[in-house]
Amino acid sequence: MSKKNQPATCPVTRPRRFYDCTLNEKLLYTSFLLLAGLAYLMALAYLYTSYDGIDGKPGLSVEDVAENYYGNRSGTRLESALRGPMAGYIKTERRDYIVKWLQSGAPQADYERLIKPMLDEQCVVCHSAASGLQLPDLSSYESVKQVANVDTGVSLHSLMKVSHIHLFGIALVALAIGLVFRFALLPSWFQHTLTLLPFIAIFTDIAAWFLTKWDPIYAYTVVIAGGLLGLSWALQILISLYQIWFLRCRVTIESEDNDH
Ligand code: HEC
């Protein structure tokens, strides 16, 4: 901003930079940034160990993210078994009948009337406590339900819980890191962008959690926004730490203005 645009009464001051900070401030900022960085790395490690391999494959992937929020709706364990290893124990039309019942949400009324007789006849020989085999019990509604639930991912309720905690928490951390980072000496466009980025990223990330419940394609948005948050914090922290300890004030104030 050029000085002639400022009202005459506005005092012309040079913005504070890290080299204007007292040693006490520098120690405070450094300690905070180091702990915040460590907290972020811990969060990453926690994320990795919590979600790694949800989809059955090692490593945290977009599929894990999709399955966490959207669930695996391709079928229930019962349906996969009926189409796969158990296919030989049931006739096709009976299987299709059970699959239709599953897709309608596996209501109890129909279970008693139509489904239980089929399972009793064809499956319970092996699938009951009496058989002595360690197999899913298929002799009562409650136990059949355990292999008949469609997995729709994290519930909306717990998503709301996690997102409000994240929004409050991350907004405060982003504010604190941003308050330190404002002392950095950088081209203004770069500094402004980097200051806004964590806020935009966290908003997008959390919006995408909800969108992923609706369509798993948004798992990509979750991953990209999460990556942007990490990248912008890493840059803010590393640039700040570097400038706190290594950037020296150049001789005249004009020389700083020339950078803008
Ligand atoms: C002759 C014994 C026998 C009969 C009859 C039988 N099963 Fe099984 N079932 C097994 C065994 C053994 C396993 C575990 C090994 C496997 O998954 O192949 C199993 C596994 C399953 C599983 C668990 C799959 C998973 O996700 O782990 C389901 C569900 C299942 N059966 C359903 C049925 C249904 C429905 C029927 C009737 C149409 C049926 N089974 C009939 C022996 C049987």
At 143, the amino acid letter reads S
Nearest atom in ligand 1 to 85's CA = 18
> How high is the mean pLDDT of the chain?
87
Last residue within a domain, chosen from 127, 146, 165: 146
Q: In this structure, are 82 and 116 located in the same domain?
A: yes
Classify residue 2: in a domain, yes or no. Answer: no
Q: In this structure, are 201 and 165 located in the same domain?
A: yes
R_g of the chain, CA atoms, integer Å: 29
Count of domains in the chain? Answer: 2
137-185 tens-digit pLDDT: 999 999 998 888 877 778 888 899 999 999 999 999 999 999 999 999 9
**Ligand 1 contact via 125 beta carbon (within 6 Å):** yes
Q: In this structure, are 203 and 173 located in the same domain?
A: yes
For the record, the structure tokens of 156 come out as: 């909306």
Classify residue 5: in a domain, yes or no. Answer: no
pLDDT given at position 28: 97
Residue 259: phi, psi to the nearest 5? -75, -15
Which contiguous run of DSSP H or E holds residue 146?
Answer: helix 141-146
Last residue within a domain, chosen from 146, 171, 189: 146
Question: Which region among 8-22, 54-68, 240-254 has the lowest average model confidence (pLDDT)?
Answer: 54-68
**Ligand 1 contact via 98 beta carbon (within 6 Å):** no
34-55 tens-digit pLDDT: 999 999 999 989 888 877 666 6
User: What predicted TM-score, i.e. pTM, was given to this entire model?
Assistant: 0.64
Classify residue 127: in a domain, yes or no. Answer: yes
Classify residue 98: in a domain, yes or no. Answer: yes
Q: How far is the CA of 126 from the centre of ligand 1 (A)?
A: 7
Q: In this structure, are 163 and 225 located in the same domain?
A: yes
187-234 tens-digit pLDDT: 999 999 999 999 999 999 999 999 998 888 999 999 999 999 999 999
**Ligand 1 contact via 82 beta carbon (within 6 Å):** yes
Q: In this structure, are 230 and 215 located in the same domain?
A: yes
Last residue within a domain, chosen from 146, 164, 182: 146
Q: Tell me if 214 sits within 8 A of 220, measured CB to CB.
A: no
pLDDT above 90 covers what percent of the chain? 57
pLDDT given at position 4: 58
pLDDT given at position 20: 92
Would you say residue 88 has pLDDT above 60? yes
111 or 5, which is more confident? 111
Q: Tell me the residue range of the domain where 33 lies.
A: 19-70+154-257
pLDDT given at position 94: 92
